[in-house]
Structures are given as structure tokens and as C-alpha cells.
Structure 1
Amino acid sequence: MRVPIEGLVVVTMGLGLLQDAWSASASVTSRDGNIHYTHPSGKSLRLTDSGRDQEPSLQPGGEWVYFIRTFEGAFSGGKYRPPPGKTVPPGTLLQEEVWRVRKDGSDARMLYRHEAGMPSEDDDHDIASISNIQFSPDGKKVYFEASRWATSSELWMMNADGSGQVALSPGNGTRIIQSSKSGEYRGYILTSLHRHFVFGGSYDWFHIFTPDMKKEIGPAGESLEEVVSAGGLTLVPTGRTGKDQGDR
């Protein structure tokens, strides 16, 4: 479960990721719960105004910014507080959503709303949370993690337009491989799985899967740094360098 903290999210993409020079040094930020896009020229444009938007990511080679829209209201003193003038009955699920908007601020649309809640600090409300938006190297597939189990998130995949939504598997700290020293595994999924030893106890290791997660290639290592070093991997960057007040 996540709770609001103050700060800033900055997402940047370099020439190696974005295929159009116009976007080469563009960036997106989440500030005061709204998404801002900064053109390479330095001109900034606010893309959303809900006050509930966070974790923006620029689509590789595309025109879209993807982000998470959280529920209305906030937690204070161990209780959920709805926004002024609104009533939220006990038992209401607090749901988060995946949205996208063009870099000019047009065509904002919700793509996915999560339905599986986990307990929050307020016993009257569970949170259906979303985090960690990732992309395939070509930007045609979008991955994200959503609440499901006490020891693991659930990894989801969808097409860039929100179609073809499918829950793939448990997964934490998911990254997508862009390249490796062997030339293999481009677009493959690297995610941490919580598994159990035969005679008791558990462990968390990163495993490599095909892009649709239908085949496991095998365990890769205990830490992301270890896996990247051993495999000579580069990963499709998240570009995230901080946290916004809406991140939890």
C-alpha cells in the first residue's frame, strides 16, 4: 500500500529511445498531481488538470504520454478523507487507472481501471493500485503492475491503444530488455518472482520471460544490477528520477 508523499517526478528519453528528433530531449513531469510536457526547446505545456495524475512515461517513438490517475481524496490520520463536498461510503474500492494523452494535451483517455483491491491504512477502504508503467522497445505494448497479492503485484500487458488487456503473471520490479551482449532477448520481460523453497522459506529472484510471458527462459539473478551486469543488458528506460506528491 502506498501513501502520498511530496516531491517531483521527471521522465526523460534520449536519442537512443525516441525515434523522432523532435522528442529527443523532451521530458514529462508530474507536478501538483498534473502532467507537464517540456518540449526540447524548453517550452512547457500542462497536459492534465485533474490534480490526481502521477508516474508519467513517454512512449518510445510515439506521440503519447502514459500515466496513472489515482482516486479522489487522500489519507490522513489513518483514515481515508474524500474530497470536500463528496461522500464515499465505507467499503468503496479506491481505484487507480492507466491513462494516456498526446504530447499536445489532446485526446486524453482512460485505458484501464483496476478492480483488485488490497487493504489500506483505513479498514473501510481497499486500494486497487497501479504502478511501474513500462514499454516494449517499439512502444507497441504497454506493461504495468497492479495490486493482487500480499507478496507480489500482478503484471499486465496491453496494446498501446488499450486494447488486448491481459493479466500475465505475478511480477515485481518489472523491466523490459532492449538489448543484450548475446544479441538475444530484445523485448523480453525481466521480473522478480516470489517463490518458496521445498523445505520452507521463500526467496525473490529475477526471471526472464518471452514478451507474452508464455515461456520462462529461466532465473537470471537476485538483483537487477546483477542481472544487467551478467547479461550485458540494456533496458528500456523508465526515465523516472524522483517522486511526485501523488506517488505512494
Structure 2
Amino acid sequence: MKRVEGLGFLGAALLGAFISAGPLGAATIGTPRSITVGSLPDDASILYWSTRNEFSALGPSNLYVTNLTGSRVTQMTFSAKPYEHAGLSSDRRYIAANRLANGISSLWIIDLKNRTEAQLVPEHRDSGGGGMDWSPDGFIFFSSAVVSGGDKNIYKIKPDGTQLTQLTFLVVSPNTTPPDPAVTGDVSVSDDGSLVAYARTVASAFPDDSWGPKTQVWIMNSDGTNQHLLYDDGRPGGMSGDNPIGVFDPEISPDNTKVVFSRTNTDYFNFPSLINSAQDLYVINVDGTGLTLVTAPGPISVISDWQNGKLVYTEYWDGGALGGSSYTGPVVVNPDGTGKTRLESGGLALWRGGRHSKFFRPTTDPLACSGQWTNCSQADTNDSNRSTSVASNNSQKTGVWNNYGFALPSTATIHWVTVLATFYASNSNGFIEVRVSTDGGVTYGPAHTVGGNTSDQTFLIDVTTDAAWTPTLLNNSNLRVQVKSFKQGSSSGNPTCNLGWVPVKVSYSP
């Protein structure tokens, strides 16, 4: 069998991945502790980390947000940590972030409402490295190794540490040809929560008869099914400067038709004493066709994302190698490579936003409600409060939620509209029927029925085809969400239906 080589900054994780895995521990969350956090501005568009106010440009760092033009920067954390990536939940309450220390990543959750932080899955050895992502129903998707050197698979978990679910089941296979390091990373979730893109590390033959790692772009359904290769650049594995050759950080476009990712460029080398590499951004169709170069070769262009019809990414530009002034920070560019704009100046600023923050695919809470549900306003926000109704075979309760506050540009193209419903009933006979109106409640579209569950669950109800959506149909005068509780079947008692949250989520581009 070919020997395994250690490979630069990924060496510890990838070399260790050839060791057999251990058992999965129970899902837990560490004890929350109070921290100081900033107030999230309404126009915040990018979440990133920066050393702009720290003593050392190499870190540790704090988390910041900025708008899409970079004209307003707000500091969100005030105790520097070794952050690698961070992402904001759809409801804008939580930040998930990983911290990288001595080559080991830990996953943390910051509660902006309660102003606390806690470690997620502290029993895992290495969690969240390469980035995590939020699904619209409030799960954090991340890669994790349970034990040192074990399989690094993809999981999802709720921000309170519950519902830990393993989605991929790769197994370290050091004695096969080629060996399988069983490593995943760089996890992202599509806006509608249906797809997951990620980088998978495979073994590649080196010219000296050794095996070394090479990364590919993979995609799967968010329940872990239909895992398949999307892109392999065809080159053999190897090193470019101090880092492996490969593809990284795939992100799915809002309409689920394309994926953007970075690819090692072996012709350029930036910051030789720190990174010694270069990467370009590419876009590819989800069927593997139409590979297109986005960024000009030379700098390190990485950690890309889709934002309001544009791509945002981090650029490391080494002025000593490429000319001009050195720059490390977030950049906005059109998907065809035009309109490049730098958003940060000074300090080592690496961000993880957009698809991970979902600011321009907003989830908006209702500000008004009426009808037969008890305390209907308890379903306005994502918290522990619940609006209730008792359903029977002879009695169905209806409520209406409105004033979602959407004010989209008149030129916006709407890709999809989703109603989220957090619901459970006291027995399995409790259900709800959800409809939307685009004429102020005069008429309603088709019914969408969910329920039968006795523990809290957030249902994603796709209403995209229920109307020919325009920005006007989403304004406060027109948009209504109707929720009717009912009992299905005659067995058991009458269920108490509990409705916790009924926001609306919209994906659009200008």
C-alpha cells in the first residue's frame, strides 16, 4: 500500500483521518455563559471575523457585520477568539461559529437575544472546521469527528444542542486501494433547505508512489440521501506551496441551479510565510455542466457566497507577489466577474456570510394576528411561547397572521416563498392546514396540511407555486397566512394544538 504523507495546514486533520473511528457520543451543549454582544443592524448583509481592533493582525479576532456596500461596520463580539467561520440563523437570533486552536475546531453558539455563548457537541473531538451552515428550519449543518483521527462526517443539530443527526456515514479505510480518509467539510445548505453541498477529501496517487489528499465538490439531499460527486478538477493530488491542490467551499445559488466554489491555482503564491497559495472562484451548474471562471487569477479568492444577485467572498491579495497594495478582506462581485468591490481595509478580515447569514433571503415575523387561536401573538416570534387551540371532529379553529413587513425592490425577481410553521399537538391526531392570501384575505390559495407530531417541529411549507409572486403581493396590504387546526381521526382525545412560530421566508434577486 502507498504511504500517506502529511500535507501542510490540513496535514493533522487529513493524516489523522486514516485512523479508525470511534463511537458517537450523546448530543450535549456546554453551560451557557454571559457575554457582551452588539446590536444587529437591519441592513446587515455580511457576517465576518476581523482583527481590525486587535493587537495582532493574525488573531485572535472578533465578529462583525457590515452592509453590502461596506459603509457601516458593527462589532458583534468583544472578546477575541480564534474564529474560523461564522453564520447567522435565519431568524437573526443566533450566530454559529467555530474556533480553531492547535488544528482542532470547536463549534459554538451565540444567542444574541439572551447574550450568551455555549459550546455545541463538546464531546466531539473536532467540529465545524471549514464552516457550518443554517437551514431555514433552524438546524446547523456541520462536519465533525467524534474522536481524534476518526471519520469526519456531516451532522445537523439544533442551537440548543438537541436533535443531533448524522447524515453521512463515511468510514476510514486505510487498507483499500485507494484508501478512504472519510473526511468531509465546507458544508453549505441551499436557501430552501433541500440540498447540501460540501467538500469531500479522497486519496490521490502522488508521483512518488504515496497517497495524499485531494478535495472534490459533492452534493446531496439535506436528509443525507442521493450523495453524489458534482466536480473533480481532473488534476492529480499534490501540493501548491504549503497547501493541497483541490476545490473548496461550495455554495448553492438561491434558485438551486448553480454552485460556486474555489479551486487551487498552482501558478501563483500569496503570502509565502503564511499561506503560500492561490485560489480562483468558479461557478458550475448543479448537473455538472457550464464550468465558468469568475475571478481573475492571482490572489487567493475563497469562501464565496451568493448575496442579492451577487457573489461575496474573501480575497487575500499579496502586493509583494502581485503588485499594488496588499489586501485581506471581503469582496463583492457579479457572477460574471464584473463589478468587483472591496468592502474592508486594513487588518486580516476573513468573513463567512451571505448563504450562512441569509440576510437577503429574509425570514420575517408577523406583527399582527387575529382569529380563534388563543394568544395568537405568541406565534409571532421564535421563542418558547405557544399559541394554542383545542381541535375536535366538530370544531376547527382558524387564525390569520399578517404585517410581515416585506419591502422588496419593485424590480426584484422572487425565486421562492416558504411559510415556516413550528407546531406540535398533545396527541397524534392534531394537525394544521396552512394557506396564503395575496389579496388581503379575500381569497386563499391551496391548503398545505402538516402535523401528527407530538414534539416541536418546524415545517417548511413551500407556497411558491400558490401565486405568481411579485414584491407587491408580499406587502402588508396583501400577504396573509391562515392556519387552521383540526383533529384527524376519531380515536384518542381532542388534541391541543400548539403553534410557536409562523414566519415567511423569501428568496429573491434584484
TM-score, normalized by the shorter chain, greater than 0.5: yes
Task: Select 1:212's aligned residue among 336, 353, 361.
Answer: 336
Query: 1:101 — aligned with what?
Result: 220
Cα distance in 1 for partners of 2:252, 2:347 equals 17
* Structure 2, unaligned runs of 5 or more: 1-7, 14-102, 105-125, 146-151, 171-181, 271-277, 359-510
Cα distance in 1 for partners of 2:314, 2:159 equals 32
Question: Is the Cα contact below 8 Å between 1:11 and 1:238 reproduced in 2?
Answer: no
Alignment of 1:81-230 (within 5 A): 90=209, 94-114=213-233, 115=235, 117-119=238-240, 127-148=244-265, 149-151=268-270, 152-169=278-295, 170=297, 171-176=300-305, 178-179=307-308, 186-192=309-315, 194=317, 196=319, 202-204=325-327, 206-213=330-337, 215-222=338-345
Task: Select 2:183's aligned residue among 49, 52, 58.
Answer: 52
Question: Is the Cα contact below 8 Å between 1:136 and 1:187 reproduced in 2?
Answer: no
Cα distance in 2 for partners of 1:52, 1:172 equals 23
Alignment of 1:224-243 (within 5 A): 235-237=354-356
Question: Is the Cα contact below 8 Å between 1:97 and 1:112 reproduced in 2?
Answer: yes
Q: Does 1:8 align with 2:127?
A: yes
Cα distance in 1 for partners of 2:319, 2:159 equals 48
| Coordinate RMSD, CA, aligned | 4.0
Identity of aligned residues (%): 19
Distance 1:66 1:224, change over 3 A: farther
Q: Deviations for 1:130-183, whole angstroms, at most 9, x for unmatched residues?
A: 32233434443321112113222121211234332223224424443635xxxx
Q: Deviations for 1:209-239, whole angstroms, at most 9, x for unmatched residues?
A: 21221x13444433699899xxxxx733279
Distance 1:157 1:90, change over 3 A: same
Cα distance in 2 for partners of 1:226, 1:150 equals 19
Query: Counterpart amino acid of 1:104?
Result: D
Q: Deviations for 1:81-124, whole angstroms, at most 9, x for unmatched residues?
A: x9xxxx99537674211111212221110111132743477xxx
Q: CA deviation at 1:207?
A: 4.1
Cα distance in 1 for partners of 2:350, 2:246 equals 27
Cα distance in 1 for partners of 2:230, 2:132 equals 20
Cα distance in 2 for partners of 1:104, 1:96 equals 22
Query: Counterpart amino acid of 2:188?
Result: S
Query: Counterpart amino acid of 1:203?
Result: S
TM, length-normalised to structure 2: 0.34
Cα distance in 1 for partners of 2:283, 2:327 equals 22
Secondary structure, in 3 states, of the residue corresponding to 1:236? helix
Secondary structure, in 3 states, of the residue corresponding to 2:225? coil
Query: Counterpart amino acid of 2:186?
Result: E
Q: How many residues align?
A: 202
Distance 1:217 1:150, change over 3 A: closer
Distance 1:95 1:227, change over 3 A: closer
Alignment of 1:17-36 (within 5 A): 18=136, 24-32=137-145, 33-36=152-155
TM, length-normalised to structure 1: 0.63
Higher relative contact order (CA 8 A, sep 6+): 1
Secondary structure, in 3 states, of the residue corresponding to 1:134? strand
Cα distance in 1 for partners of 2:164, 2:316 equals 39
Secondary structure, in 3 states, of the residue corresponding to 2:294? strand
Secondary structure, in 3 states, of the residue corresponding to 2:224? coil
Q: Deviations for 1:33-73, whole angstroms, at most 9, x for unmatched residues?
A: 11123479944432222222222211111411111111349
Cα distance in 2 for partners of 1:127, 1:226 equals 23
Cα distance in 2 for partners of 1:146, 1:64 equals 21
Larger Rg: 2
Secondary structure, in 3 states, of the residue corresponding to 1:57? strand
Cα distance in 1 for partners of 2:323, 2:340 equals 25
Q: Does 1:64 align with 2:195?
A: yes
